[in-house]
Amino acid sequence: MTEERTTPLRERMIEDMRIRGLGDKAQQAHIRAIKDFAGFLKRSPDTATPDDLRAYQLQMTNAGGRRRPSTPASWRCGFFSASLAAARR
Residue 80 lies in a domain: yes
Answer yes or no: is 3 within a domain.
Answer: no
Question: Whole-angstrom Cα distance, residue 25 to residue 31?
Answer: 10
Per-residue pLDDT tens digits for 8-56: 888 888 898 999 899 999 888 888 888 889 999 999 888 888 899 889 8
Enclosing domain of residue 71: 8-88
| Type of residue found at 60 | M
pLDDT confidence tier of residue 69, bands split at 50, 70 and 90: very low
pLDDT score recorded for residue 42: 95
CB contact at 8 A, 47 and 60: no
Residue 47 DSSP class:
G
pLDDT of residue 40: 93
What's the predicted TM-score (pTM) here?
A: 0.67
Tally of domains within the chain: 1
- Is 48 within 8 Å of 87 (Cβ atoms)? no
